[in-house]
Structures are given as C-alpha cells and as structure tokens.
Amino acid sequence: MILLISLLCSFLVFIMIFFSSMHLLKKKTNVSDRVRFYTGYAPEEEERQEKEALKDRVRKAFRKHLRETAPKKNTMNLNLLMDRAGLPILGSEFLVMSNGAAIVGFIVGFLLFSNAVSGLIIAFIALSCAWGYVRYLADKNSKRFTGQLSDCLTLLSNSLRAGFSFLQAMEIISREMQPPMSTEFARVLRETNLGKPLEQALQQMDERVDNEDFSLVITAVLIQQQVGGNLAEIIDTIRDTIIERVRLRREITTLTAQGRATGMVLAVIPIVLAIALYTISPSYMAPLLTSTIGKMAIGAAAVMEVVGFVIIYKIMDIKI
C-alpha cells in the first residue's frame, strides 16, 4: 500500500513539474515571438546553435574518454551489437547507460523496500531488460534481413544483367529495398565514396550482418572481383541455394514446434503449480520454504529445470 501511494505521489509530482515547465516555455516562446516580430532578431536560434555545439563537444569528449579506457576487443564486439540492433550509439555508451540504469534501479529498490537484496534484484532486472531489448532488436533486424535476402539477390542479378556495374546495382538496392537491407548497402556506398576499398567495406558489412547466407554472397563477390567471371549467374546459383535453405529451416521449425512447446510447458508447470499451491494453502508449502531441506530441494529443482530446458532446446535446434 505504501509503495502504491509513493508511486502515485511521484507520478503526480512529475505531472505537475511537466505542465509547469511547458507553461513557462510557452510564455518564453510568446515573448520571443513578439521580440522577433518587432526587431527581426531571433535569439533562440543562436541559443540552439550554442547548445548543439556544446552537446557535440561533450559527446566527442565522452566518446574519446570511452575509447581510451574501454578494452578494444570488447568495444568492437559491443559496437557490432549496436550496429546489428540499429541503435545510433557506441557500445561503450550503451554499457554506461545500462550500468547507470542498474545503479538507479538499486537505489530505487533500496529506498522503497529498505533492503539491499531488493535493490540488487531490481538492478538485475533493469540490466537484463536493457540487454534483452538490444538482443531483441538485433534478432529482429537479422530476421528481416534474411527475409529480404532473396529479393535483394534477384534485384542484384537483374541489375547486373541489364548492364549496371556492381556499385550501381548496390545503389539501386539502397533505393528500392527496405531497411535494414537498404541501410546496409547505403552505408557501404558511403564508405566507398569516402575512399575505403570495396573489399574492406563488404567484409565489414558481413561482420555487421552476421548472416551465414549473406556470407556466401560476399565471398562470391570478393572472388569474382579478383579472378573475374559472370557474377549474375553466380548470384543466381547462390540465391537458389539460399531459398532452398530457408525452405528447409521453415520445415524444420514446423516439425520441431511440438518439442519446443513441450519444453516451455515443462518449464512453466512447476512454477505455476507452486504459486497455485502457495495461494490455496500457504501452510502446506511452508515446510518447503522455511526448512533447510526444503530450500535445498527448491534449488535442486531449479537447476534441474534449467538443465532440462537447455537440453530440450539443444535437441530442437537443428542447424542447416
């Protein structure tokens, strides 16, 4: 009850501060409009430019400090993860923000419950949510890229047959396709226009995308750039192979759906049953929660549940 009241009070205070700030900004905007109408002077434009310049200086100094202090290998891996997720930040910046969210969660949990364990739980939840969101975005972009790959290869081979060069075909893909396919090819074009070799730009694109099917395309293009050959026919062959692999993956996903559902149900049933029994008869579950043997049994059951779920997941995860 105290938690709900404190959250409600915090929300009301936030609403009051928000609307008060909006009212003050509106008054300031009205005064600035009148001054600009009579004098032709726009002070907010200069203020905006100064703020943008200050933000740029702070951002550059912050990124320089992170580059100097963060390990190079871990920073590169985090940067690749941010690129795959489509987030316009560096990996080190995300690391700072996620750790800051965990610290704020710990402070909030400690102040609300007066317990360090509760603060650690909330901090862990905040950190897990941040990393889970980035992983979700990366997986989502990867699936969208895989779904667009066959159309991209068809457009690429048709453009080459029509007489366009490989760079011109990439430009057509960046205009005609949807993200993330178009953004990746547009980035390669920008890098090549700035002087980076095409082979290096394509290899970096392959690292960002992290797609086995697309790696075949990049390998074929790099070999064709060195030894020559009919690139359109090579891409058509790779496209047919990729389409067949996608069909097999979908068929396997359909055939293993029952096994994956079984793993999820077996993992959820003990938790739901324990909550239901504790709600119906707390005294019946009390020995399991208070005695040493009961706590050991809960720990062993949790470990066995995790191991069983991982085994079922590995059995159902068939690689093509």
Report yes or no: 156 and 235 within 8 Å, Cβ to Cβ. Answer: yes
Task: Encode pLDDT of 185-217 as tens digits.
Answer: 888 888 888 888 888 888 888 888 878 888 888
User: What is the reported pLDDT for 45?
Assistant: 56
Domains, the chain, ordered by start: 145-244 (1.20.81), 256-320 (no CATH)
pTM score of the predicted model: 0.60
User: What is the reported pLDDT for 7?
Assistant: 47
User: What is the reported pLDDT for 181?
Assistant: 85
User: What is the reported pLDDT for 12?
Assistant: 52
Interatomic CA distance for residues 250 and 245, integer angstroms: 9
What is the number of helices (H) and of strands (E) in the chain? 13, 0
Per-residue HEC secondary structure of 206-259 comes to HHHHCCHHHHHHHHHHHHHHHHCCCHHHHHHHHHHHHHHHHHHHHHHHHHCHHH
**pLDDT per 10-residue tile (average), the chain, 320 residues:** 49 52 50 49 55 60 52 66 78 80 81 76 83 86 84 86 84 85 86 85 84 82 80 84 83 84 84 84 80 83 85 78
Compute the radius of gyration of the chain from its Cα atoms: 28
User: What is the reported pLDDT for 258?
Assistant: 83
Both tokens assigned to 212: 């086995």
